[in-house]
Amino acid sequence: MKRYRNNKIYQYSLAGGLAGLIITLLGIYLELNQYHFAFTLQKVINLHLNEPSLFLLDLAPFVMGLMGGMIGVQSELSGEISRAKREWEEIFDSISGPIIYTNENGDVIRCNHAFIDKLNSAYFKVLGKPLSEFLDTKGLQLYQQIEVEWHGRNYDLTRFLITGVDGEKNSLWVLHDITERLVADKEIHRQRQYFETLIQASPIATVVLGNDEKITACNPMFRNLFGYSREEIKGKTVDELISTDETKAEANRYTRQVMKEPVHALGKRHRKDGTSVDVEILGVPVFLDGEKVGALAMYHDITELLKA
């Protein structure tokens, strides 16, 4: 591409030089014809000796060649600018989210296809109009992001400062559709609430462990069975709360195991007051979207069952 552009400049220079040569030859021919001289080398030399100003005419091929080269360079620069502008417009319009460029007064200077499509309008109906006619941007400061509802969808709206060539303070407004994300977040929140409700309502002492094996949540049955308050449980591991030196090794083994696979066993665990309780131990690792986020441990008091 660079070689092609250089060749184009050479072509302009050559064309200019040839045009200058034609002008020179034509000027000499007309001068000789004025004196009824034949067009010969000797007559041309004599004419130059008698008319020194003709030497300036001889410079025409060089001057015209130089001008042609300059025109070629200017043409290439204009072409580069035009290509860059087209590429920018193609990139601008290929972005799926609406983008709007406004001047200091808030009038739309440029916008992409996504914005026009969303308005179901045309460029000539939008350009030059205040952005406020199409989108509520009140209170949005530079580089700030706010959530807006627009044409039945939810968007993150961000405003960026763009300084124009004359120093004017223009703005670039970017809309990012977050509707699907909000729906997904709402569903995750709903599932989390459902999960927490099941745990809180469970008749079995239950704790939720994080990947660091520390308790992130527990239900009232766990607190009642082992005698701990919420404050005493927060940030602790289940093994340091309900196991003793005699049962700690076994408890630690079960905790490590439940982080990888289900656990089902019988054993003794200890309350805050030091008394022991026979429990059925059940545990399962918890995965969300294929990623392990912790584990669920349950302790079923079987003291009365063993007595029976």
What is the CATH classification number for the domain harbouring 103? 3.30.450.20
pLDDT digits (tens, 9 = 90+) for 251-270: 999 999 999 999 999 999 99
pLDDT digits (tens, 9 = 90+) for 47-66: 667 777 666 666 767 777 77
**Pick from 87, 137, 143, 148: which is nearest to 108 by CA?**
137
Tokens 């527990």 identify what position?
Answer: 218
102: alpha, beta or left? (left if phi > 0; alpha if psi -120 to 50): beta
Same domain? 207 vs 288: yes
Same domain? 116 vs 49: no
Q: What is the extent of the structural domain holding 85?
A: 2-92
Among 177, 210, 241, identify where a domain stops.
Answer: 177
Same domain? 204 vs 303: yes
Q: What is the pLDDT of residue 54?
A: 66
More confident position, 253 or 19: 253
Side-chain-side CA neighbours of residue 206 (13 Å): 16
- Residue 186 forms part of a structural domain: no
Q: What is the pLDDT of residue 263?
A: 96
Q: What is the pLDDT of residue 67?
A: 78
Same domain? 206 vs 292: yes
Same domain? 85 vs 23: yes
CB 2 within 8 A of CB 62: no
Average pLDDT over residues 203-224: 95
More confident position, 146 or 204: 204
Same domain? 287 vs 242: yes
Same domain? 79 vs 120: no
Q: What is the pLDDT of residue 100?
A: 93
- Residue 56 forms part of a structural domain: yes
DSSP assigned state of 152: T
Domains contained in the chain, number: 3
Same domain? 19 vs 107: no
- Residue 128 forms part of a structural domain: yes
Same domain? 109 vs 88: no
Same domain? 19 vs 82: yes
Same domain? 214 vs 280: yes
- Residue 83 forms part of a structural domain: yes
- Residue 192 forms part of a structural domain: no
Is it the case that residue 3 has pLDDT exceeding 60?
A: no
Structure tokens at 277: 């309780």
More confident position, 94 or 185: 185
- Residue 210 forms part of a structural domain: yes
**Pick from 210, 232, 221, 219: which is nearest to 277 by CA?**
221
Q: Which residues contact 257 (CB under 8 A, 6 or more apart)?
A: 263, 283
Structure tokens at 110: 């440029």
Among 92, 125, 145, identify where a domain stops.
Answer: 92
- Residue 187 forms part of a structural domain: no
Among 92, 122, 139, identify where a domain stops.
Answer: 92
Same domain? 149 vs 225: no
Span between the terminal Cα atoms of the chain, in Å: 92
pLDDT digits (tens, 9 = 90+) for 125-143: 999 999 999 998 887 777 7
Q: What is the pLDDT of residue 4?
A: 47
More confident position, 251 or 71: 251
- Residue 113 forms part of a structural domain: yes
Q: What share of the chain is helix, strand, coil (3-state, %, to 5)?
A: 50, 25, 25
